[in-house]
Amino acid sequence: MSTAYFRHKRAPHLAYLTCKSRYDHGKSTKNFIVNGMRVSVTFIDEDPQTTQLDRILVREKGPVGVLLNAGCPNVPSILQQASRHSLFDAMHMWLILDSADAVLEMELQQLNLSVNADVVVARSVGTYIELIDYFNYGKIQGNSLEIITIGKWHPKKGLSITSNRFKYYDRWNFNNLTLRAVTVILDKPTNFRPTEMLSSVGYSAGVAVMTKIATQQLDVLKEKHNFRFNYTIAGRWIGSPERNSTLAVTNSLYWREQDISCTCARIFPQWLNWVDVFYPPTTKLETKFYYLILDKGVGKYENRFLSPLSPGVWRCAIAAVVACGVLLAAAAMLERHSEPGSYAFFSVFAVICQQAFEDGIIMFEETFSSQGRRLILTVVGITSMLLYNYYTSSVVSWLLSAAAPTLQDLDALVASDLELVFEDIGYSRQWLDNPGFYYFSGFKNPKEDILRERKVTRAKRSVKLLQDAEAGIQLIRSGEYAYHTEPYTAYQVISRTFDDRALCELGALQMMRPASVYIMAQKNSPYKEFFVWSLLRLLERGHTSAARARVSGSTPMCSGRTPRALALGQAAPAFAVLGLASILAVVILACEIIHHRYNNIIMKKQVAIDGGRRGWSARAGVGHTKTIK
Q: Tell me: the pLDDT tens digits for 462-484?
A: 999 999 999 999 999 988 999 99
pLDDT attached to residue 367: 46
Q: Is the pLDDT of residue 214 over 90?
A: yes
Edge-to-edge strands, sheet with 275-292:
227-234, 177-184, 260-265, 506-522, 275-292, 481-485, 419-423, 466-467
Whether 123 contacts 152, CB under 8 Å: no
Q: Is the pLDDT of residue 335 over 80?
A: no
**For 513-558, what is each residue's pLDDT tens digit?**
999 999 999 999 999 999 999 999 999 999 999 999 988 877 888 8
Mean pLDDT within 307-335 = 79
Q: Are 366 and 335 in contact (CB under 8 A)?
A: yes
DSSP conformation class of 45: S
Interior/surface letters 132-164, b for 16+ CB within 10 angstroms, e for the rest: bbbbbbbbebebebbeeebbbbeeeeebeeeee
Residue 305: the pLDDT is: 61
pLDDT in tens, 144-159: 899 999 999 999 999 9
Percent of the chain whose pLDDT exceeds 70: 86
Q: Convert 2-20 to b/e letters by CB count within 10 Å (16 or more is b).
A: bbebbeeeebebbbbbbbe
User: For residues 393 and 398, what is the distance between their CA atoms, to the nearest angstrom?
Assistant: 9
Euclidean distance between CA atoms 265 and 283, whole angstroms: 10
Reported in sequence order, the residue ranges of 19-157 that DSSP labels E, i.e. its strands, are: 38-43, 64-69, 92-97, 119-125, 128-135, 146-154
pLDDT level of residue 333 (50, 70, 90 thresholds): confident
What pLDDT band is residue 427 in, cutting at 50, 70 and 90?
confident
Question: Pairing relation of β-strands 481-485 and 275-292?
Answer: antiparallel
pLDDT tens readout for residues 279-292: 999 999 999 999 99
pLDDT over 90 at 27, yes or no: no
The helix/strand/coil state of 207 is coil
| Res. 357: pLDDT tops 80 | no
For 560-590, how does the pLDDT look when each residue is reduced to its tens digit (9 = 90+)? 776 666 555 666 677 777 888 899 889 988 9
Q: What's the pLDDT tens digit per position in 486-521?
A: 999 999 899 888 988 888 889 999 999 999 999 999
Q: How far apart are CA 452 and CA 473, in angstroms?
A: 21
Which pLDDT does position 277 carry in this prediction? 96
Compute the half-sphere exposure of residue 628: CA atoms within 13 Å on the CB side of its CA. 6
Kindly report which listed range (104-108, 217-221, 294-298) carries the lowest average pLDDT score: 294-298
Q: Which residues pair with 334 in a beta bridge?
A: none
Classify 96 as helix, strand or coil: strand
Average pLDDT over residues 190-210: 87
- pLDDT (0 to 100) of residue 421: 96
- Please state whether the predicted TM-score (pTM) of the whole model is above 0.85: no
**37: closest CA among 72, 5, 70?**
5
Would you say residue 363 has pLDDT above 80?
A: no
Q: Is the pLDDT of residue 177 over 90?
A: yes
> Which amino acid, one-letter code, is at 32?
F
| Mean of pLDDT over the chain | 84
- pLDDT for 563 equals 63
pLDDT reported for residue 364: 44
pLDDT surpasses 80 at 597: yes
How far, CA to CA in Å, does 320 sit from each of 77, 327, 393?
101, 11, 22
Mean pLDDT along residues 219-233: 95
